[in-house]
Amino acid sequence: MTDRPLLLLDVDGPLNPYGARLLRHRGYVTRRMWPPNWAARQRTGSRRLRRGLRVRLHPGHGERILALPYEPAWATTWMHHANEMIAPVIGLPGDLPVIEFTDLFAKDPDGLYWKTRQIVAWAAGRPFVWVDDLVTDLDVRHVDAHHDGPSLLLKVDPRRGLRESDFATLERWAHSL
């Protein structure tokens, strides 16, 4: 563990712009994958399960992420499978720390995104940026109220994924600490 801020990465949305149905992003590669959490939610024998989940990834993202002054970690339903299936494609090491979420997709009594409370607990007061496509103002207010260190919740458009402007925001925020 270092004293650098954490960079908590979601896969679907920021790294895999799943919302880009018709658009082919420059530099992205498409893979068919069978992440266990996804496969468990599919109907046995279905065409969708046989074909696998279409995942679009940019092989240069890992280098860009590693060049930032952060300690990256996974904050995704892919959990440890992100190290096995995503990291090699985008150029990240296959041993990044992983937030091991419990109760995936559980409805929060206060309307928070189901990851929010566990992310705050996992960060344990360390400065962090959480990059996700589903964070809301409610999550931002909760983190501000319950996290003792600096934080930034960076919402990424799932149709576009991480963009140049997002990397610039990450760079600026880290240097502002």
Strands 29-33 and 53-57: antiparallel
- pLDDT grade for 22, boundaries at 50, 70 and 90: low
Write down the mean pLDDT value for the chain: 94
Statement: residue 1 has pLDDT above 60: no
Q: Residue written as tokens 């074909």?
A: 51
Kindly list the domain boundaries of the chain, sorted by start residue: 6-20+59-176
Statement: residue 100 has pLDDT above 60: yes
Neighbours of 112 (CB within 10 A): 18
Q: How far apart are CA 65 and CA 74, in angstroms?
A: 12
Q: At what angle do helices 137-146 and 116-123 cross, to 10 degrees?
A: 30
Neighbours of 81 (CB within 10 A): 20
Statement: residue 129 has pLDDT above 90: yes
Helix H or strand E encompassing 50 = helix 47-51
Statement: residue 11 has pLDDT above 60: yes
Bridge partners of 31?
55
157 close to 133: Cβ distance less than 8 angstroms: yes
Bridge partners of 151?
128
- pLDDT grade for 165, boundaries at 50, 70 and 90: very high
Is the alpha carbon torsion for 2, 174, 149, 81 positive or negative?
negative
Position with higher pLDDT, 22 vs 108: 108
Domain 6-20+59-176: CATH architecture, name and number where available: 3-Layer(aba) Sandwich (3.40)
Q: How far apart are CA 152 and CA 171, in angstroms?
A: 12
Q: Is 82 in a helix, a strand, or coil? A: helix
Please compute the mean of the pLDDT values over residues 111-122 and round it to a whole number.
Answer: 97
For 80, the token pair is 């440890």
pTM reported for the whole predicted model: 0.94
For 109, the token pair is 């009594």
The 10s digit of each residue's pLDDT in 56-88 is 999 999 999 999 999 999 999 999 999 999 999
